[in-house]
Amino acid sequence: MSDQFAPAAVKDARDAAVKARQLSDEHQHAYRDVDPADAELVRRGDELKRLAAEASARFEVVKQHAHSAALAKRRQQSIADDAQLQARLRAEAQARRETAAASEPPPPRHGHR
């Protein structure tokens, strides 16, 4: 899944799960007083429940993939930032060493007596 499409995919999966649950709930509410022997209505209710469960599971998978992709992207950015910082610190340390080497040597130290 591409990072740029992840939020849209998550939203679409969430919307589909919400709609499927809504249809299942509406069917259950509308036909709750119907004879349980009506096989067609029972089958339709079971199918709507199954579809709602599948849509919810699909939403969770898409959400997890988007979360993993975001974490990987942040990790890569952190690694790149660390590399830039390390390069800058090395350059600054090298510049200090070169400056110290170019300056005159410090006066000799006399030992403690």
Cα 72 to Cα 1, 60, 69: the distances in Å are 12, 18, 5
The larger pLDDT score, comparing residue 9 to residue 91, is at: 91
Domain boundaries, the chain: 3-100
- Mean pLDDT value across residues 48-68: 95
pLDDT at residue 75 above 90?
A: yes
Q: Kindly report the pTM of this predicted structure.
A: 0.64
pLDDT at residue 2 above 80?
A: no
Lowest mean pLDDT among 56-65, 91-100, 101-110: 101-110
Burial class (CB in 10 A: 0-12, 13-18, 19+), 20: buried
**H helix or E strand, kind and range, residue 83:** helix 39-102
Nearest CA among 44, 60, 51, 43 for reference residue 22:
51
Give me the pLDDT at residue 113, please: 58
- Mean pLDDT value across residues 90-112: 85
HEC sequence for 13-26? HHHHHHHHHHHHHH
pLDDT at residue 5 above 60?
A: no
Question: What is the per-residue pLDDT across 26-51, written as a single tens digit (0 to 9) for each?
Answer: 988 888 777 777 788 888 989 999 99
